[in-house]
Every structure is written in structure tokens, then in C-alpha cells.
Amino acid sequence: MRSSGELEVNAIFKRFREDFEKGHKGCVRIENLFAKYGRQLSDKPDEQAQLRAKALALTDLDCDWSLNALGR
């Protein structure tokens, strides 16, 4: 989590966002997923509250897709 109030997430969530928003266990928005697991994502009560409130903007972390080709 950034000090600017953004939640940094793996780029996989952007690339496959629609897969995470298909309604599995009530998750129809990616923000719901992070809200559900707020206690595991942060040990700070104020950040957990922001996650539950879905008040954080999502920022994608860079992902090195070439790692998938290791060992080929």
C-alpha cells in the first residue's frame, strides 16, 4: 500500500480482471475481493478500514512475464 492511499496489486488482476469479477462467492468487483481479505493485506486498522470501504485506488505493479518462459 502506498502512502498516497493506493493499493498496489499484481498486474494479473488487471489482465484477468473479468475473471475475478464473475460473481464467485459474491465477488462482482475486484475491489470486493480486496475488501474481503483486508485483514490479511494489512496489519494496520486504518488501512483495513479503507480496504473494507473500497476507498483505495488500485495501482498495478510491474509484472515480468518473461519469468513464465524460464526453463524452456
**What pLDDT shows up at residue 1?**
65
- 22 φ/ψ angles, rounded to the nearest 5 degrees: -85, 0
**What pLDDT shows up at residue 12?**
87
Q: What is the DSSP letter of 62?
A: P
φ/ψ region of 59 (left if φ > 0, alpha if ψ in -120 to 50, else beta) reads beta
Question: Could you tell me the pTM of the whole model?
Answer: 0.69
- 28 φ/ψ angles, rounded to the nearest 5 degrees: -110, -5
**What pLDDT shows up at residue 2?**
66
* Residue ranges of the chain whose pLDDT lies below 50: none
Distance CA 28, CA 43 (A): 25
Distance CA 24, CA 64 (A): 28
